[in-house]
């Protein structure tokens, strides 16, 4: 991605996160980026295309991170710990992206459906690992889908928690807290 497209991507993500999709205009994006409308339209045909690109690329990045990291783990417990750590890092690094996805996941418009689809693809990666753990006896028999959403939502709720308590937490601190909640150790 070239520098201009990346800047459009980053500014749009920040504005969509802070103001919401509907309250953000193409004019505001171009003014903040410091480019003409024609330059923006050279890279993206519409605000909807910018949004779709943000969600698709951002969630793909997070999903790929989990797949790469967990492929190097030997046990399902190690894989789940890797997922927790990646999600915490993702929440800290990609808070704007996740704010957009979470805010748009409800409803039946095209962008809502896209956010649901990409979040589901992400949870599917977690579910494959949970099923592996059930099959090999590392995890007791359970509803693998519910367990996967529980892991996803526990770490995702950190974003709201972090914003509510108004305190900076380090990644290791947040990881230890989640590990203690899930595995009862710390």
Q: Tens digit of pLDDT for each residue in 81-99? A: 999 999 888 888 888 888 8
Tens of pLDDT, residue by residue over 26-79, are 999 999 999 999 999 999 999 999 999 999 988 898 899 999 999 999 999 999
Q: Which domain holds residue 89?
A: 51-183
Query: Do 40 and 29 touch, CB atoms closer than 8 A?
Result: yes
Q: Does one domain contain both 166 and 127?
A: yes
CATH assignment of the domain containing 36: 1.10.10.60
55 contacts: CB under 8 Å, gap ≥ 6: 97, 100, 101, 104, 111, 114, 115, 118
| pTM of the predicted protein model | 0.83
- Whether 125 and 143 map to the same domain: the answer is yes
Is the domain of 138 the same as that of 60? yes
Counted domains in the chain: 2
Same domain, 106 and 138: yes
Residues 148 and 92 in one domain: yes
Q: What is the pLDDT of residue 25?
A: 95
Instruction: Give yes or no for a contact between 159 and 93, defined as CB atoms under 8 angstroms apart.
Output: no
Judgement on whether residues 122 and 143 belong to the same structural domain of the protein: yes
Q: What pLDDT is recorded for position 185?
A: 59
């Amino acid at each position: 991605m070239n520098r201009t497209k990346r800047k459009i991507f980053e500014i749009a993500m920040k504005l969509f996160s802070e103001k919401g999709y509907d309250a953000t205009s193409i004019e505001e994006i171009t003014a903040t980026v410091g480019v003409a409308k024609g330059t923006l339209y050279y890279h993206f045909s519409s605000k909807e295309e910018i949004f779709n690109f943000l969600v698709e690329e951002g969630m793909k990045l997070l999903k790929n991170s989990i797949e790469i990291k967990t492929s190097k783990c030997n046990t399902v417990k190690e894989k789940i710990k890797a997922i927790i750590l990646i999600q915490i890092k993702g929440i800290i690094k990609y808070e704007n992206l996740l704010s957009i996805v979470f805010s748009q996941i409800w409803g039946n418009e095209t962008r809502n459906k896209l956010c649901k689809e990409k979040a589901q693809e992400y949870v599917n990666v977690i579910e494959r690992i949970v099923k592996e753990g059930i099959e090999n006896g590392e995890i007791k028999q359970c509803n693998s889908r519910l367990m996967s959403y529980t892991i996803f939502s526990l770490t995702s709720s950190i974003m709201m928690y972090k914003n509510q308590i108004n305190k900076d937490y380090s990644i290791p601190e947040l990881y230890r807290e989640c590990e203690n909640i899930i595995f009862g150790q710390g």
